Amino acid sequence: MESKDVSSAPDKGMDANYNRALNLLKSNPPEGRLDIQLSHAKYLQLENAFFKLYPESLELRYPSLSYDSFTETVTVVTCPGNIHESAALDLIGPIVAHAEEYLSTYSLASRIGSYGSTTTDDFEGESEGSTKQPDGGVRYSHLDGNKVTVVLEAGFSEDYNSLCRSKNMWIDGHGVNVYILLCLTEKPRFKNPTTEYGDIGDVKAAIDLMESSMNETLGLNLSNNRHTLFLYRGHKWAGELKDVSLKSGELYLVQDGRTCDDLPTTLGIKISDLFPDNAWRAAHIPNRVIPFNATVYVQKLMGAMRSTAGDRFKKFIKKGRGRRGGEGGGREGREEEEED
């Protein structure tokens, strides 16, 4: 009897993890992420349930479901905030645009495009059986199909270990030329107020007032190269963007809540990095380093933090938690406990 209980313990843990993942997929709250351990067989069961919940999932970016077969890690990601989306799109877009412009000077039709909304499952070696959807990237299109050459993964500091695992999967299991790891630190992380405001009658007017306050904070941040909290009615709707680093911490754009003075002018990515090896050899054009406008990029991250704060406020009051007549209304500014 005792041996039966012991042997069933891992199964119970696996079932609990499965249910946690499935519940997150069903509820699909904004800015959700979960990393859990599941066997490959259990992951396939979860994937089947995911496709039933979201028949259009192949065309949707979020929620997303991925699997690292080597570590047996399932990752569920629901729709992230603007800061996460901006971090990926505003970095990859200029890389692709520069490459297209450069290739046009040699009368070469560009086969290079942005990549990020498609799930990849043709991993090899230790990552065989894995599935992954990157936050952004570059792919090269040719007659035999598409080749992913650059991958970007963005996440908050608490997701760092998971992002590092992704690096091995993409480089060793898929042969990408460049893996960009973008790590953000928001302090404190956001939590909704624990009590309703209860005094908001005109939702649109309340949103307009909040937007005006957030724009004022953004203006001060841009003027002072600071990344301070977005506060409104005594609540932190977006934390301080404490640190922003690229390439596993090798390049810092923001440190201790301030834009770095000596920003990089390149990420070290070359035009050849966007091509498969055989395609680059056949191109017969000079190579060059792709520039990176870090100043503009950081300013866009500032704007994304402001938009994230606004979106969080809108979702909070539109769900009735900020409207007049809500339960427990009236008190402002009390938050759930947060760790700095």
Average pLDDT over residues 11-21: 89
Task: Indicate the pLDDT class of residue 325, thresholds 50, 70 and 90.
Answer: very low
Average pLDDT over residues 110-131: 87
Three-class secondary structure of residue 306 per DSSP: helix
Q: Cα dist. 268→53, 177, 211, 298 in Å?
A: 42, 12, 38, 18
Interval 243-253: pLDDT, tens? 999 875 589 99
- The confidence score (pLDDT) of residue 10 equals 63
> Largest Cα–Cα distance in the chain?
76
- The confidence score (pLDDT) of residue 115 equals 85
Return the higher-pLDDT residue of 123 and 195.
Answer: 123
- pTM over 0.85? The answer is no
Average pLDDT over residues 282-299: 96
Average pLDDT over residues 94-118: 89
Sign of the Cα torsion 258, 262, 265, 267 reads: negative
Kindly provide the b/e burial profile for residues 246-280, where b requires at least 16 CB atoms within 10 angstroms of the residue's own CB: bbeeebbbbeebebbeebbeebebbbbbbbbeeeb
> Which sequence spans correspond to the domains of the chain?
2-77, 82-124+132-186+265-297
Query: Which residues is 238 bridged to in the sheet?
Result: 230
Check whether 328 has a pLDDT greater than 50.
Answer: no
